[in-house]
Structure 1
């Protein structure tokens, strides 16, 4: 999945699903330079869920709305894949708190994180660091 968008400055950006690394992510690039990512894990014991746990955009690309683009594209892709979103990441949680009704109206599903989700994130990050 790769989507082409424009940021607040009008510059073209690409948002791509990257599942080839130890931690899967939606990435955002500007002029082919990686600008940010929204990390997630798909729980192996619970099919149909995606736990978003960290989102960041490099400082040099700040103020261009890239985090918002990243979140919106990740959520849109989650709808198309019929995935329930679990927002551990504060940016995803905040977005869904403000726009959750709209997201549900578009066919999206989300739920609050549980202790098992937090444990999975911790294990995933630890295993990625060991790799």
Structure 2
């Protein structure tokens, strides 16, 4: 999904997507290694074209390298390419869109504030994860 992206140390990183049911994730690897970070999401069960991003995590051994930011930027860029509205339940995505939402929308993105129904959908999906 990514082309020639590097982290703060200059290491090459790649972002991909793991599609699963019910919980999918944007994933990040460093230097062709194993997955070291994830931004988990569900596609909204009742509203076509909405993606609820609810949890982002990077392995502690890779903290401080900007990997969460790269995951966030790639997930948002992917949503623009696919015409998907982001529902930011994850605090990282929520803070970013609170600060930079106008820029995201100007670039062609769309997002909305999460509702209780969105939180319930995430809770249900996580409970039924294999």
TM range (shorter): over 0.9
Q: How far does the alpha carbon of each residue in 1:63-119 deviate from its partner, in whole angstroms, 9 at most, with x for none? A: 000000000000000011101100000000011011111101000000000111000
SS of the residue aligned with 1:103?
Answer: helix
Aligned residues: 128
Aligned to 2:11: 11
Q: Which residue of 1 aligns with 2:118?
A: 117
Cα root mean square deviation, aligned: 1.0
Q: 1:55 to 1:17 in 2, by over 3 A?
A: same
Aligned structure 1 segments of 4 or more residues deviating by more than 4 angstroms: none
Mark the runs of 5 or more structure 1 residues left unpaired by the alignment. Answer: none
Aligned-partner Cα distance in 2 for 1:41–1:23: 5
Q: Which residue does 2:51 correspond to in 1?
A: 50
Secondary structure at the aligned position of 1:3 is classed as coil
Measure how far apart 1:34 and its partner are: 1.1
Cα distance in 1 for partners of 2:87, 2:22 equals: 19
Q: Distance in 1 between matches of 2:128 and 2:20?
A: 15
Matched, 1:75 2:73: no
Give the TM-score taking structure 2 as reference length: 0.95
The runs of 5 or more residues in structure 2 that have no matched partner are none
In the alignment, the residues of structure 1 paired with residue 82 and residue 125 of structure 2 have an alpha-carbon distance, to the nearest angstrom, of: 22
**1:25 — aligned with what?**
25
- Tell me the TM-score normalized by structure 1: 0.94
Mapping of residues 51-66 of structure 1, within 5 Å: 51-66=52-67
2: CA distance, partners of 1:44 / 1:90:
21
Offset, 1:45: 1.2
